[in-house]
Structure 1
Amino acid sequence: MAQRTHGVRLSPPTWLTAGLRPQPAPVPWAAVARAAVALAVPLAVGLAAGQPAYGALVSMGALSGVIGDTADAYRMRFFNIAVPQLFGAVGVALGTLVYGHDWTAVAVLTLVALVSGMISSIGSVASVAGLLLLLNAVVGAGLPLPQPWWKAPLLLTAGGAVVLLLTLFAWPLRGGVPERAAVAASYRSTAAFLRAAGTPEHDERRQAVTQSLNASYDLLLAHRTRRHGRSPGLTRLIAQLNALIPIVEAASAAKLRPARLGPLPEAWPAAVLTLADTVGRSPAPTAVPLDLPTPTGPSERALHQALRYAAAVGAESDPAHTAAPDRLGRPAAPWARTRRATRAALFSRASWRYGLRLALCIGLAQVVVSVLPVPRSYWVALTVTFVLKPDFGSVFSRAVLRALGTAAGLLIAMPVLSEVPRGWWDVPTVALLAALIPACSAKGYAFQTAAITPVILLLSDLLNHQGFRLVLPRLFDSLIGCGIALVAGYLCWPESWHTRIGDRLADAVTEASAYVVLAFAGAPGQDRTAGPRRRRRLYRDLSAVRSEFQRALTEPPPTGPPAAAWWPLVIAVERVVEATTATQVRVEHGEPAPPPGEVAALAADLAALAEALRTGAPAPRPAAAPDGPADVLGPLRREVRAACALASPVLG
């Protein structure tokens, strides 16, 4: 219970406590079982063969695989585990070759850090690969690993192979199940969004639909290649997901139903749930009888048409014949995507800046441990690497959470290292501690760190036999690493402690302005997929703004507290995009088309708002216009006015 002094409530600031609240995520029991088996079995085999150090190295490789197994689709899980393991093998080989050569190790690890940071910008798999490249190089340069140099990479890769086999064991039986489950979840999220039309929960449900659609498209399109036309199951799922978009559009329009008609009949969301059950249950074409009420207005006519179309797509034996044009466009070939991503990593200013920042911090860490008498100093550079991962959030909050998580992990490790005898007792101990990693990782970074720390310490002890003496040095090493990351990786780089919400939001508002023009263009021969694609890109941009907002809230003053002022404006811009979609749907189903001059005026107001967000100029004040029941642009105009009004206090 918080203490009070003179009527003032004393409590820790939000930026300090945000990462210490466990996330409400379910325990991934399958991942818990895999982690326990993958780390304990190699250790048992090593003990049985009289080579506990070999078993410990295989378990370390398995630990990397457990941490990297974050995807749902089996194809992506294969790449998420296999590709980083290869980079990790290269890293540990380089580290082993420079072990004991202090200044050579400094130079090599600094160069590896530069490469690791630059390739992290290519994509999620490359990000994990860059992480393992650097982590294993640090471990190889800091621990006495078995010789010759090729033995440690082989053993670590074997550990990753164990996780890969356990992960993909059910692929022949459950292939396609995660993808179907994701699409079905998007349908269910849309049903909840439809049910919330005109209620206070509408905005929250809209955001949930956006997140669900993002996840489903990422899952399906990540491995869609030129084989797309020869993969009927994948083709059907993409067609069913594309067919969901008109339902989402109609759900947005349902918010504008006249109040005199009352709430939307339950039959509409019930029909969406029926489609969701069909998608999740069977990959085969299935005819779904829908009992739909008679439409009473433009939004219900749009909903009726969208639901009938989605049911037809699900019943078609060859969905490629009836599916609407792909609303996200066909992806480029894998080699083309890789080439573009590699070029971006090599020539992007942001990629070089992050690579140089990481190289500077790793170089400093290695210089510090080469000059100061720090035993088993690899932990300093490990801490720097974990803290500075760019796609894991705020550097400041991660440094704080890393220190707290390490301290908690050391408390767990103390009785293990002091009371558990080395040998066969290590096997059940590692199994128990490994099982905590997936369970705690779902709760947050500090909890993940607390779970990983005792496992690494126990496995390290099997290599260097220091026992309880490992505990306090590891705490000091973590504090040194956090300090280096905070000073050289955070305070010395101004963009780290300045929020980028305004710039990203300005870009999204510019896109919203173009979307308003596109939504009501109505030109003959216009690409009907252009609007949905732009809207999906807009919602992704706004999701990135939300992520930036969440990151900023975990920063200390002066960054964190002012960031909270942006939140109402983020919501307002999302409402502008949704109002544009809703108005377009109503126009397509019976409402009169808006005058081009009024559309241009609204787009100009949004463009002016974007410029104000970039430059800090006063927010525009949209001119008054007719705003009655017959004004089809009325809802959109009100949202634009609200966004401009909310921008004024933010811009000062």
Structure 2
Amino acid sequence: MFRELPIGLTPPDWLVRNLRPQPAPVNWAAMARAAVAMALPLAIGFAAGQPALGALASMGALNGVIGDTADAYRMRVITIAVPQLTGAVGVILGQLAFGRGWYAVLVVTGVALVSGMISTIGAVASVSGLLLLLNCVVGAGLPLPHPWWLAPLLMTGGGLLVLALALLAWPLRAGVPERASVANAYRRVADLLDDACDDDRYIGARFDVTRALNQAYDLILGHRARHHGRSEELTRLLARLNAITPVVEAAPAVHLTGRPLPPEVPRTVRALADAVESGDTAGLRLPKLPLALTETERAVDHALKHTAEVVTSPSVDPRGVDERTVALHVRTARATRDAVLSAGSWRYGLRLAVCIGIAQALVSLVPVPRSYWVALTITFVLKPDFGSVFSRALLRALGTVVGLAIAAAVLAEVPIGWWDVPVMVVLAPLVPALTPRGYGFQTAAITPVILLLSDILNHQGTGLLLPRLLDSLMGCGIALVAGYLLWPESWRTRVGDRLADAVEDTAAYVSTAFGDGTDPARRTRMRRRLYRDLSTIRTEFQRALTEPPPTGRRAAAWWPLVVAVERIVDATTAARVRVHHGAPPPSSAEVHQVVRQLGELAEGVRAADTLTAFPTHLTGPAGSVLEPVRQEVAAARAIATPH
């Protein structure tokens, strides 16, 4: 039996959250690709008597493994190939600046500014910006082989080898990832219906639904936007994904009733999910649903029958797919331009450039054996979409220590030569296996791989360990001071304004949900956008909870308001569903009162750094469909931070 730690020795919550591994399935295919793509160049290099060239290609393969995150095969062409090309540009720029003193400082700092700005556009741009800066730092810090095009060619070739391996199964599994993503969304909806009357599990299940829908829409619409002409298969999948929306909208109404649904209902949704994933609907046998009596039961019954009709239909009418939904989810050139020119993009680019400039200036003044490791550490720690800077600096330091322990055993016991190939076969799969668990785990996996390749290039053995530790700690220190402490973003800017925008959008949603002649598709788009925005806010809060006080404590104090806003959206959706299936609609005066109270709440949230309670005077007829909405609004306005 373990005794409980004394209160003074109990680790703080923010530290526990940082160190807790994230649950994630094991991607065996990605692990196999990593083993082959990173070990094969080494084997070819040793066979050709050029192990250094093989190590460079393996470094490029490591970049490809890091970017191998997409599910759809067409998307992999984008997510792996495009970053490799920007990485090649980075190597070339770095080589031009190698050994040029302060000129190298200016070049790498300028590349850092560009890298930081393009990283805010999206997932592919984020990895592209990362590799642009990483490879530029490597080129500026290492003497790479001549001619100038050899190193970028080898590193790009290593990354493209990962892509080639990823595309081997495309002819046999074309369309499988897209179908699986839609089926996963259906299964999460089935879980939501199972947990609809469990208050503790319902919120988590609803968040899982939002995340699954976001992933499915992003995957299918991103694929569809790049597909020349209209694809019947993608159109069908998009129609099936849209068809689950009425079921999602009915779930809040079920939650408010407090009465569990018959088990046949979630069982039906799972049967439809299996049919979507297999692509075979001919033999689909659905459970018989019980007779629907109440408005909520009729809403669920109607939604399920509509979904089943769309799934089992042999063809789909392209006009039934809402193109405005496509426009909502596909990033346009104008949106990309706005992202690049936004104040947030410039702010992040400048912050990254300042940190990289300090690092490059420092290593130019102070002799550091492997100076490029300092800038590499900063590049990883300061990524804007990878989480809290403080948490990543902490996890980077801890992960480096663990990785160095593994590397010490490898470098001490394995001589440079053919034995490096089987060692790489063992170490490389750890990168895709541990990356989903958290940044610290990813660092622990990447560190021994990088040191093994560095040893092949430099032949320094265990002499690499202490410099790597010191450089990583220097990089973490610069990132914490110049990239975190000196850029104090106000809580209102970071979270308060976003939450206030969500409350205002909720007020608009309430007004639209009960307005005369409102387009149902517009209501659906507003609800989807609201849940997506709230999902983003929830993620930002979870990042803030991993930071030490006062940020972590403030995030914990504001968290109930985030949940309250989500409940208001749920209650509004439930009321709309009830009205659609026979309940009397609310009066315009009731709707206006709720909208006004939400507007006041949004103004208060936007103006405050700490939460304060807002007086609530919401009245209305008993039994109105808006009564649950009024209760949730009153609860949200009554929330105050503890003193």
TM-score by length of 1: 0.94
Shift of 1:220: 1.1
Shift of 1:324: 5.5
Equivalent residue in structure 2 for 1:549, among 521, 541, 560:
541
* Aligned positions of 1:98-117 closer than 5 A: 98-117=97-116
Could you tell me whether the CA contact under 8 Å between 1:19 and 1:397 is conserved in 2?
A: yes
Matched, 1:161 2:160: yes
Please name the residue that 1:128 is paired with.
127
Could you tell me whether the CA contact under 8 Å between 1:512 and 1:577 is conserved in 2?
A: yes
Please name the residue that 1:237 is paired with.
237
Matched, 1:86 2:89: no
Cα distance in 1 for residues equivalent to 2:353 and 2:207:
38
Shift of 1:502: 2.0
Please name the residue that 1:338 is paired with.
333
Cα distance in 2 for residues equivalent to 1:2 and 1:22:
23
Cα deviation 1:508-559 (Å, max 9, x = unaligned):
0000000000000022xx3221111011111111111111111111112221
Please name the residue that 2:462 is paired with.
468
The AA in structure 2 aligned to 1:522 is D
Please name the residue that 1:446 is paired with.
440
The AA in structure 2 aligned to 1:85 is Q
Please name the residue that 2:630 is paired with.
637
Please name the residue that 2:48 is paired with.
49
Structure 1 residues 416 and 324: alpha-carbon distance in aligned structure 2, compared to 1, 3 A threshold:
closer
Deviating more after overlay: 302-311 vs 425-434? 302-311
Cα distance in 2 for residues equivalent to 1:103 and 1:497:
37
Structure 1 residues 537 and 338: alpha-carbon distance in aligned structure 2, compared to 1, 3 A threshold:
same
Matched, 1:315 2:309: no
* Aligned positions of 1:550-589 closer than 5 A: 550-589=542-581
Cα distance in 2 for residues equivalent to 1:93 and 1:284:
53
Matched, 1:597 2:589: yes
Could you tell me whether the CA contact under 8 Å between 1:299 and 1:586 is conserved in 2?
A: yes
Cα distance in 2 for residues equivalent to 1:310 and 1:229:
26
Matched, 1:366 2:360: yes
Please name the residue that 2:288 is paired with.
291
Number of residue pairs matched?
Answer: 639
Structure 1 residues 212 and 400: alpha-carbon distance in aligned structure 2, compared to 1, 3 A threshold:
same
SS in 2 for 1:319: coil
Cα distance in 1 for residues equivalent to 2:5 and 2:80:
50
The AA in structure 1 aligned to 2:101 is D
Deviating more after overlay: 612-621 vs 294-303? 612-621
Shift of 1:413: 0.7
Shift of 1:331: 5.7
Cα distance in 1 for residues equivalent to 2:108 and 2:537:
34
* Aligned positions of 1:397-436 closer than 5 A: 397-436=391-430
The AA in structure 2 aligned to 1:474 is R
The AA in structure 2 aligned to 1:539 is Y
SS in 1 for 2:336: helix
SS in 1 for 2:24: coil
Equivalent residue in structure 2 for 1:494, among 488, 492, 495:
488
Cα deviation 1:221-243 (Å, max 9, x = unaligned):
12222858620110011000000
SS in 1 for 2:217: helix
Cα deviation 1:260-297 (Å, max 9, x = unaligned):
xx532112222111211111111677766552221111
Matched, 1:477 2:476: no
Could you tell me whether the CA contact under 8 Å between 2:381 and 2:476 is conserved in 1?
A: yes
Matched, 1:251 2:251: yes
Could you tell me whether the CA contact under 8 Å between 2:91 and 2:151 is conserved in 1?
A: yes
The AA in structure 2 aligned to 1:462 is I
The AA in structure 2 aligned to 1:268 is V
SS in 2 for 1:575: helix
Shift of 1:327: 6.6
Cα distance in 2 for residues equivalent to 1:333 and 1:251:
27
Cα distance in 2 for residues equivalent to 1:271 and 1:332:
28
Structure 1 residues 281 and 91: alpha-carbon distance in aligned structure 2, compared to 1, 3 A threshold:
same
Cα distance in 1 for residues equivalent to 2:483 and 2:473:
14
Could you tell me whether the CA contact under 8 Å between 1:82 and 1:160 is conserved in 2?
A: yes
Shift of 1:606: 0.7
The AA in structure 2 aligned to 1:432 is V
Cα distance in 2 for residues equivalent to 1:622 and 1:110:
53
Q: Which runs of 5+ in 2 are unaligned?
A: none
* Aligned positions of 1:273-292 closer than 5 A: 273-282=270-279, 289=286, 291-292=288-289
SS in 1 for 2:325: coil
RMSD, aligned α-carbons: 2.0
Matched, 1:265 2:258: no
Shift of 1:100: 1.5
